[in-house]
């Protein structure tokens, strides 16, 4: 793979379309629309599928209200709406709900919400009294808006799939990241989970990297977005440590983890995450020299000021496009990850 530091690159991960894909937008009545949150990713998905994004008017009134109008007939069509609920989270989530409602009222046969990044996912259970479980609340909103199916990538926790009473296909960005790491031919790799909750994710990642050894960072969170690293379980001395997480928000957890790995003698440290949320001061922490590379995907669009030399951005467009095609053709999605 020709990876460009600090800029987006296309993944070399390939997923072959079936021959029937030719002209499918007409023959199979599949329609693809994009919200405003990540138009570039939507365009890449459309190119993979060999079709154009559907025409749609998106605008905001003076008071901030969102207006959506589909500009072609979708009666009886299978519609796929691509919209991550990233920053500004509330605006993008509301736009997705309005898009779903517009398609449902336009008599679409089936509406699938393609959500590369599912916001409000961190509050997935009650950890204290009088808290809201926002992951479930958002699931209810999307379902009540009229979505028939969900396609999501790397949910913050697996149980969120059970919050939906409609079919949900859960896919992973790890194949794209794994392809990139394999192309680098790194030696003496140890996969590191930045917290106990991410052990299952890290273990699956290590298995795909030729059964690489696993290490775990034991941390205690003092408050939201502030983490304190306590201990390292496993051996990283003289090895290439690969930190694996689903998202990087403020970068506190993964930066503190990298400091500990350096103290424990890791020769190199790489950070891998599907979702680059990058809330301040994430860029400052990630570009401080702790990492050889910070590898993320383009589920969330990055502003130019959030790029830095160690950053590598990989595209998940092919993976999402292939998943959409398989859902539409009623073929297996899970087989993509075996």
Q: Is residue 97 a contact partner of residue 111, using CB atoms and an 8 Å limit?
A: no
Catalytic residue (choose from 16, 219, 239, 259): 219
User: Cα-atom radius of gyration of the chain, to the nearest Å?
Assistant: 20
DSSP helix/strand/coil, 81: strand
Q: Which residues contact 60 (CB under 8 A, 6 or more apart)?
A: 66, 67
Q: Is residue 201 a contact partner of residue 177, using CB atoms and an 8 Å limit?
A: no
Alpha-carbon span 201 to 206, nearest angstrom: 9
Percent helix, strand, coil in the chain, to 5, is: 35, 25, 40
> Which of 46, 162, 36 minimizes the C-alpha distance to 99?
36
Beta bridge partners of 151: 114, 169
Tokens found for residue 4: 């460009």
Q: Is 219 a catalytic residue?
A: yes
- Cis amide linkage into residue 281, ω under 30° from 0: yes
Per-position DSSP letters for 151-211, written without gaps between them: EEES-SSGGGGGG-SS-EEEE-SHHHHHHHHHHHT-SSEEEEESSGGGHHHHHHHHHHTTS
Q: Is residue 86 a contact partner of residue 300, using CB atoms and an 8 Å limit?
A: yes
Alpha-carbon span 223 to 261, nearest angstrom: 23
DSSP helix/strand/coil, 36: coil
Alpha-carbon span 116 to 34, nearest angstrom: 12
Which of the residues are catalytic? 219
């Amino acid at each position: 793979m020709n990876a460009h530091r600090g800029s987006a690159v296309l993944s070399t991960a390939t997923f072959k379309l079936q021959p029937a894909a030719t002209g499918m937008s007409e023959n199979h009545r599949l329609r693809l629309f994009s919200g405003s949150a990540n138009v570039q990713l939507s365009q890449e998905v459309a190119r993979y599928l060999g079709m154009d994004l559907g025409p749609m008017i998106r605008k905001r009134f003076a008071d901030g209200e969102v207006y959506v109008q589909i500009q072609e007939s979708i009666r009886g069509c299978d519609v796929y709406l691509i919209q991550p609920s990233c920053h500004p989270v509330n605006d993008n989530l509301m736009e997705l709900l309005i898009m779903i409602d517009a398609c449902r009222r336009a008599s679409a046969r089936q509406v699938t919400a393609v959500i590369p990044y599912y916001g409000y996912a961190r509050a997935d259970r009650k950890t204290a009294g009088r808290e809201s479980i926002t992951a479930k609340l958002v699931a209810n909103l999307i379902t009540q808006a009229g979505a028939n199916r969900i396609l999501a990538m790397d949910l913050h926790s697996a149980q969120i799939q059970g919050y939906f009473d409609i079919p949900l296909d859960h896919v992973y960005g790890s194949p794209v990241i794994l392809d990139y790491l394999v192309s680098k031919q790194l030696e003496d790799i140890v996969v590191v989970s930045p917290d106990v909750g991410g052990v299952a994710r890290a273990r699956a990642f290590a298995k795909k990297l030729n059964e690489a050894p696993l290490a775990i960072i034991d941390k205690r969170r003092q408050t939201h977005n502030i983490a304190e690293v306590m201990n390292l379980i496993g051996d990283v001395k003289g090895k290439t440590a690969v930190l694996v997480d689903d998202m990087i928000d403020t970068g506190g957890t993964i930066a503190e983890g990298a400091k500990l790995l350096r103290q424990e003698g890791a020769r190199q440290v790489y950070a891998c995450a599907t979702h680059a949320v990058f809330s301040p001061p994430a860029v400052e922490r990630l570009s401080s020299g702790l990492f050889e590379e910070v590898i993320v995907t383009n589920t969330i669009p990055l502003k130019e000021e959030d790029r830095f030399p160690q950053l590598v951005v990989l595209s998940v467009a092919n993976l999402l496009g292939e998943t959409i095609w398989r859902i539409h053709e009623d073929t297996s999605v899970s087989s993509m990850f075996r």
